[in-house]
Amino acid sequence: MKVKNRLMAFGALWCGLAALPAAAATFEVPRTFEIMYVDLEGARQFGNDFKVDIDEGQHQIVVRFNNLFRSGGDTQVFQSEPVVLDLQFEKDTHFTLKAPYISTQKQAEANAKDPQFTIVDEKSGKEINYQQQVLTTKSGFQNTRDYVTEIERLTAKNAPAPSDGPAAAPIVLTEDVALEMMQFWYNRSDEATRKEMRIWIADDMYKPTVSNIQLEMSQFWFNKADREAKKAFQAWLVE
């Protein structure tokens, strides 16, 4: 009787799993980019910030460039404006964004004005046709921008130009930008880098034994964060 009940339970579970929609396509970006939104939903709902699995069909994917540059003795973080991509995905496709190598802030600024990259189908090796739009640059590092509203206005067919009237007041994000960036770069790190980051947080005199962009960016944003953001990040690490 018990065996029969187990078989019935397994069968019900299998039917339930079979009924779930399966992701048919994949989109991936290099480590210097992040996937911000898929159809105006946060990328974290799909998996992570640099690779997402989605259903076949037409999708709007928003990406942006992030990197750390050294100039003399200074280290500067660069973040481009979001780029809106319209892509058509077929079943079992794997698209990858290919971008030119950027080693200086000057190169990053030039590329941000006119983003140059290709999107390749990993299975066929062919370049994919796509449309792109770039959000308008705004001065300063702003953590209160409502990107979703900006993207909706940008992509709307009959959206008025920004000069036609006053812009809507920005919506304050609930998450601290420094906290979000620390989580972003920590998620991109391998296990060895994550371990070094945790030790460095516990002991700021510790000298990490690894050297990579993920650790440097995590340290940069941790140093930039306020006390509350640092506490929230440490709590997030042990969740």
**Boundary (domain end) residue, out of 164, 190, 217:** 164
DSSP 8-state symbol, 127: B
Q: Are 214 and 185 in contact (CB under 8 A)?
A: yes
- With respect to residue 226, please indicate whether it lies within any of the assigned structural domains: yes
Considering the chain, what is the average pLDDT of its residues?
77
| Pair 73, 52 in one domain | yes
Nearest residue to 23 via CA among 52, 66, 64: 52
Band of the pLDDT at 163, cuts 50, 70, 90? very low
8 Å CB contact between 99 and 116: yes
The last residue of one of the domains, among 132, 164, 196, is: 164
Summarize pLDDT for 106-149 with one digit per residue, the tens.
888 888 888 888 899 998 888 888 888 888 876 655 556 788 88
| Rounded Cα distance, 108 and 33, in Å | 12
173 or 97, higher pLDDT: 97
Looking at the predicted structure, is the pLDDT value of residue 164 above 60?
no
105: confidence class by pLDDT, cuts 50, 70, 90: confident
Same domain, 85 and 108: yes
**Does residue 146 share a domain with residue 46?**
yes
- Do residues 97 and 49 share a domain? yes
Say if residue 55 is in the same domain as residue 143.
yes
Q: Report DSSP letters for 138-166, one per residue.
A: -SS--S---HHHHHHHHH-TTPPPGGGSP
What was the pLDDT predicted at 9?
A: 46
**How many domains are contained in the chain?**
2
Residue 8 domain-assigned (yes or no): no
Candidates 75, 107, 111; CA nearest to 213 is 75
Verify that 153 and 191 share a domain, yes or no. Answer: no
Distance CA 136, CA 158 (A): 17
- The residue segments making up the domain with residue 196 are 177-237
Identify whether residues 35 and 66 lie together within a single domain.
yes
Residue 168 has pLDDT above 80, yes or no: no
4 inside domain: no
**Both 160 and 181 in a single domain?**
no
212 found inside a domain: yes
Highest mean pLDDT among 36-45, 98-107, 168-177, 212-221: 98-107
- Flag whether 159 is in a domain: yes
Examine the domain organization and report whether 103 and 74 are in the same domain.
yes
* pLDDT (tens digit per residue) in 36-82: 999 888 876 665 678 889 888 888 999 999 888 887 777 788 888 89
Final residue in a domain of this structure, among 139, 164, 189: 164
